[in-house]
Amino acid sequence: MNRFFIHRLLLAALTLGAAVAPVALFPAQQPPKDKAAAKPKPQKPTPGNRLTIEVTGGEKNAPVENASVYVKFVEQRRLKKDKKYELNVKTNREGVAHVPDSPEGKVLIQVIAEGWKTFGRWYEITEAQQTIQIHLEKPPRWY
Q: What is the mean pLDDT of residues 16-37?
A: 55
Look over the chain and give the mean of its residue pLDDT values, rounded to a whole number.
78
Q: What is the mean pLDDT of residues 110-139?
A: 93
pLDDT digits (tens, 9 = 90+) for 48-107: 678 999 999 988 999 999 999 999 987 776 777 777 788 899 999 999 999 888 778 889
Of 127 and 44, more confident: 127
At residue 16, the pLDDT reads 64
Label residue 41 by pLDDT band (50, 70, 90). very low
CA 115/CA 139 separation, integer angstroms: 7
Parse the chain into domains and list their residue ranges: 50-136
At residue 36, the pLDDT reads 52
Q: CA 37 → CA 40, 45, 71, distances in Å?
A: 7, 21, 40
CA 64/CA 54 separation, integer angstroms: 9
Neighbours of 65 (CB within 10 A): 14
Which CATH number is 50-136 given? 2.60.40.1120
At residue 17, the pLDDT reads 62
The three-state DSSP-derived secondary structure of 51-112 is EEEEEEECCCCEECCCCEEEEEEEECCCCCCCEEEEEEEECCCCCEEEEECCCCEEEEEEEE
CA 139/CA 30 separation, integer angstroms: 66
